[in-house]
Chain A
């Protein structure tokens, strides 16, 4: 029996339901599994103590993060990729396995199978310091622990050769489409995120939910952090007339990362044409000696296509 579980002795695999293909997540950085048992108490007149303590809506949340390395994203492995709206009904099986801590690569001897999971949220971070990362949350209702050989075989060690983790030089600025306020600035961080919500739908006669729907409209946000070379030039103008005023316009945003082997486009994040500036935050440059930064947050709805 292992003395501990650390990064080399655990692994995660993902299977898009219906694809019959189980893929080990390459470049995985962390995996977390949380099981929640929502309780509802019934009391009654005449006594303080609980009349009944009932488990109502148990659910499982899985969080997987990986570095962007030119390989398929967790999003693509889980849903087949494409726009968020088109994959909203896709289901995913997530398998987390652990093995002995004496092996140099995971040799799974026990596994937790989370089947029929729904994509709950996605987040991509592209900093100047560190690796570009992806974090995906799944939400579902089924979790089974197993040591059966057939189940254990679902989690294998990922491939190790030929992986180049994306860093700041792989940000293909020339092919990106930036909002006007950000264009030409020294971008130090880009974060793209979307939360699908996933509200459970129940029906009489069945304990588990029959579906978890995406709570449209689905907000997609994109935040750019730039190193300030001057003040932010975004005016806040209340002088808006019938025909318009000086308010932020709808703008397209597309972020492109390059393939470290070929230089071609590797990952593309297209947020459509209706992104609008939601906030601008100028801060820093204080007596601590740090530099001032400006953060521009853009918001759109129901529009995010991820390829790569």
Chain B
């Protein structure tokens, strides 16, 4: 038995249900699994005791699986595993004496759904993606239940586009991107994009397994731009003088492009509404003034309103 678990002896796998992942996800930086039981109890007359054996304790389990990953491309939300269909998530663990992960056991979270996907593009860090999944089951399984051998890494299949393993600020194609005009006159530092899918389980009598998962529309895509202030933002919000008139309000389309025309990867945001702008910093401590500006889009992004839980669902370790 090892003395500890650290990055070299951990790995994350993601697949469609009941399919062992073909590879461990590359570039994963962190992983976290949270299991929580929501306790519901009831008391009855003349009895102050809450007795689990007579069913006066009810627990609903939620399992949240989060991981962050260095990526070189954006992912289409509608085709991502867990967005329009269930997925299985694996956290593999091995011995701390190995230079590479040699799985001994793993945690399997069956039938998870994608709750959010975030991207962070920053001047002083790697291009990173974070995902958060939610499910209601978790199994500890010994490795070897599936065909043996460590899942390999994916290979780059496009000979014309050999990207580095990690992307940094110089790989952001600011000239090819379509961003608000405020970016042109200030120094863009960070772009954060978060797409959230808010879901509610639909339950049915006779089983604790949900009938399905319904999406609470609208799907929110939040974009936050952080800039070092060199000029003002140019955003005017005039005082409303006519009760029939409101402030003119227009949405904007944005396109964020990584790399060049050969290897470019694009993220499109349609109908983004400006929601917030904050000036900060530039105080007597000597730091620079920053502008943080937020947009929100409510496009449905190809997400289906309901995912039915499979009737032939598999439980336990494979």
Q: Which of B101, B124, B170, B286 contacts A207 (CB 8 A)?
A: B170
Contact with A along B212-244 (1 / 0, CB 8 A): 000000000000000010000000000000000
CB-CB under 8 A from A217, the residues of chain B are: 284, 286
CB-CB under 8 A from B121, the residues of chain A are: 204
| Structural contact, B168 and A56, CB atoms closer than 8 A | yes
**Which residues of B99-142 have CB atoms within 8 Å of chain A's CB atoms?**
99-101, 121-124, 126
A204-B188, A205-B174 known; A45 vs B99 contact (CB < 8 Å): no
CA distance A47 to B100 in the complex (A): 4
CB-CB under 8 A from B165, the residues of chain A are: 42, 51-52
- Interface check B27, CB cutoff 8 A: yes
- Interface check B42, CB cutoff 8 A: no
- Interface check B313, CB cutoff 8 A: no
- Interface check B81, CB cutoff 8 A: no
| Structural contact, B191 and A54, CB atoms closer than 8 A | no
For A217, the closest partner residue in chain B by CB is: B286
CA distance A46 to B190 in the complex (A): 28
- Interface check A282, CB cutoff 8 A: no
Q: What is the interface size of chain A, counting residues whose CB is below 8 A from a CB of the partner?
A: 25
- Interface check A44, CB cutoff 8 A: yes
**Smallest CB–CB gap between B225 and chain A, Å?**
10
CA distance A205 to B172 in the complex (A): 5
CA distance A237 to B30 in the complex (A): 55
Contact with B along A32-66 (1 / 0, CB 8 A): 00000000101111111101101010000000000
| Structural contact, A46 and B188, CB atoms closer than 8 A | no
| Structural contact, B8 and A48, CB atoms closer than 8 A | yes
Contact with A along B257-294 (1 / 0, CB 8 A): 00000000000000000000000000010101000000
CA distance A45 to B67 in the complex (A): 11
**Smallest CB–CB gap between A196 and chain B, Å?**
11
CA distance A40 to B128 in the complex (A): 15
- Interface check B28, CB cutoff 8 A: yes
**Which residues of B169-198 have CB atoms within 8 Å of chain A's CB atoms?**
169-170, 172-175, 187-191
**Which residues of B1-47 have CB atoms within 8 Å of chain A's CB atoms?**
7-8, 10-12, 24-31
CB-CB under 8 A from B29, the residues of chain A are: 42-45
| Structural contact, B11 and A45, CB atoms closer than 8 A | yes
| Structural contact, B288 and A205, CB atoms closer than 8 A | no
CA distance A48 to B11 in the complex (A): 12
Give the secondary structure class of A's interface. loop
CA distance A40 to B28 in the complex (A): 16
| Structural contact, A204 and B189, CB atoms closer than 8 A | yes
CB-CB under 8 A from A54, the residues of chain B are: 126, 164, 166, 168
CB-CB under 8 A from B89, the residues of chain A are: none
CB-CB under 8 A from B307, the residues of chain A are: none
- Interface check A178, CB cutoff 8 A: no
| Structural contact, A202 and B189, CB atoms closer than 8 A | yes
For B9, the closest partner residue in chain A by CB is: A46
CB-CB under 8 A from B27, the residues of chain A are: 42, 44, 51
**Smallest CB–CB gap between A120 and chain B, Å?**
16
CB-CB under 8 A from B28, the residues of chain A are: 44-46
**Smallest CB–CB gap between A58 and chain B, Å?**
12
- Interface check A215, CB cutoff 8 A: yes
CA distance A46 to B154 in the complex (A): 14
Q: Which of B24, B100, B164 contacts A48 (CB 8 A)?
A: B100
| Structural contact, B170 and A51, CB atoms closer than 8 A | no
**Which residues of A7-47 have CB atoms within 8 Å of chain B's CB atoms?**
40, 42-47
- Interface check A213, CB cutoff 8 A: yes
A201-B228, A204-B174 known; A45 vs B169 contact (CB < 8 Å): no
A42-B126, A44-B26, A48-B8 known; A201 vs B31 contact (CB < 8 Å): no
CB-CB under 8 A from B190, the residues of chain A are: 204
Q: Which of A46, A205, A215 contacts B169 (CB 8 A)?
A: A205
**Smallest CB–CB gap between A170 and chain B, Å?**
36
| Structural contact, B123 and A51, CB atoms closer than 8 A | no
For B126, the closest partner residue in chain A by CB is: A42
A44-B26, A201-B228, A213-B288 known; A206 vs B170 contact (CB < 8 Å): yes
A205-B174, A217-B286 known; A45 vs B101 contact (CB < 8 Å): yes
**Which residues of A217-232 have CB atoms within 8 Å of chain B's CB atoms?**
217
A56-B168, A205-B172 known; A47 vs B99 contact (CB < 8 Å): yes
Which residues of B pack against A, CB within 8 Å? 7-8, 10-12, 24-31, 70, 92, 99-101, 121-124, 126, 164-166, 168-170, 172-175, 187-191, 228, 284, 286, 288
Q: Which 5 A/B pairs are nearest by Cβ-Cβ distance? A: A205-B174, A207-B170, A203-B187, A202-B123, A46-B11
A-B contact pairs, 5 of them (CB 8 A): A42-B165, A45-B7, A45-B30, A206-B170, A207-B169
Contacts A42-B29, A52-B165 supplied; 17 other A-B pairs, CB < 8 Å: A42-B126, A42-B165, A44-B27, A45-B11, A45-B101, A46-B7, A46-B10, A46-B28, A48-B100, A51-B166, A56-B168, A204-B122, A204-B190, A205-B172, A205-B173, A207-B169, A216-B286
